[in-house]
């Protein structure tokens, strides 16, 4: 569950201070309801609290990642984060044309991972996967573009 109550309890139980900045950043991620880049979180945070520094955003996100409250998502070059939701784990498919990201159910990866595990004795880490490609809309609306 990703309600405020549960998240904040997790932090308190770990002895992590609930500062306004941390609550704000977590609320932004929760309300965004998808992964977000650092700059995006920072921009939203500033509208609520103009003095917040981007270093605080980085520190908070990294801290939350360490305790698994947020998950880092590999979205191309820059860091993206989302709230860790144990109820609906998923991977991502990113459209290289429009930049939109789509969730990918874990089942697809599980079959794939199982093959690699059994055929190649390699234990793949399929907890956090990102696949690039073209979404159906872009695939349809452009023929030979990037």
Partner DNA sequence: GTACATGCAAACGGTTTGCATATCT
Partner DNA sequence: AGATATGCAAACCGTTTGCATGTAC
Interacting residues toward DNA by CB under 7 A: 12, 16-22, 37-39, 49, 51-56, 58-60, 62, 77-79
Q: How far apart are CA 92 and CA 112, in angstroms?
A: 15
Name the residue nearer to DNA (CB basis): 12 or 141.
Answer: 12
**Dihedral sign, CA of 45, 50, 56, 58?**
positive
Binds 98: which of DNA, a second copy, none (CB < 5-8 Å by kind): none
Q: Report, in Å, the least distance between residue 140 CB and DNA.
A: 30
Residues 88-101 as b/e (b if ≥16 CB within 10 A, e otherwise) read: eeebbbbbebeeeb
Q: Report, in Å, the least distance between residue 108 CB and a second copy.
A: 6
Footprint of a second copy (CB under 8 A): 93, 95-96, 102, 104, 108, 111-112, 115-116, 119-126, 131-136, 139
| 3 DSSP 8-state letter | -
> At 13, phi and psi to the nearest 5?
-60, -30
Binds 16: which of DNA, a second copy, none (CB < 5-8 Å by kind): DNA
């Amino acid at each position: 569950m990703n309600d405020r109550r549960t998240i904040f309890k997790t932090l308190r139980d770990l002895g992590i201070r609930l500062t306004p900045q941390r609550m704000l950043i977590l609320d932004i991620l929760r309300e965004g309801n998808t992964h977000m880049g650092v700059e995006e979180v920072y921009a939203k945070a500033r509208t609520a609290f103009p003095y917040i520094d981007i270093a605080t955003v980085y520190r908070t996100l990294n801290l939350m990642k360490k305790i698994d409250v947020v998950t880092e998502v590999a979205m191309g070059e820059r860091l993206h984060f989302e709230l860790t939701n144990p109820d609906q784990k998923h991977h991502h498919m990113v459209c290289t044309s429009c930049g939109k990201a789509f969730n990918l159910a874990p089942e697809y990866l599980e079959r794939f991972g199982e093959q690699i595990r059994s055929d190649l004795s390699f234990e793949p880490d399929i907890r956090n996967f990102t696949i690039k490609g073209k979404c159906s809309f872009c695939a349809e609306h452009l023929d030979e573009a990037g």
